């Protein structure tokens, strides 16, 4: 998912530099959303991993 966020960010920057501001802004917005989702998924999996490692006494 981070890979797709980086791809959309680079495309957004390229389109913005070429003068397609609306399209570039849309791509950067999609990149922000994908990056946010990736962070949330990472945190959920991190918590689940820490909880699975604990032994029940």
23-53: per-residue pLDDT in tens?
Answer: 999 999 999 999 999 999 999 999 998 888 7
pLDDT confidence of residue 55 = 63
Is pLDDT larger for residue 54 or for residue 40?
Answer: 40
> By mean pLDDT, which of 8-12, 44-48, 52-56 is the weakest?
52-56
In a domain, 57, yes or no: no
According to the model, what pLDDT value does residue 26 have? Answer: 93
| Rounded-to-integer distance, Cα 29 and Cα 9, Å | 8
**pLDDT for res 51:** 87
Sign of the torsion angle spanned by Cα atoms 30, 35, 40, 42: positive
What is the rounded CA–CA span in Å between residue 25 and residue 12? Answer: 6
Query: Residue 11: is it exposed, middle or buried by C-beta count within 10 angstroms (0-12/13-18/19+)?
Result: middle
The two three-digit tokens of residue 1, written as one number: 């998912």
What total number of domains does the chain contain? 1
Structural domain boundaries, residue 36: 2-52
């Amino acid at each position: 998912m981070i890979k797709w966020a980086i791809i959309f960010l680079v495309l957004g920057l390229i389109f913005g530099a070429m003068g397609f501001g609306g399209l570039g802004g849309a791509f950067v917005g999609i990149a922000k959303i994908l990056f946010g989702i990736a962070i949330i998924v990472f945190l959920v999996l991190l918590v689940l991993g820490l909880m699975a490692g604990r032994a029940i006494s």
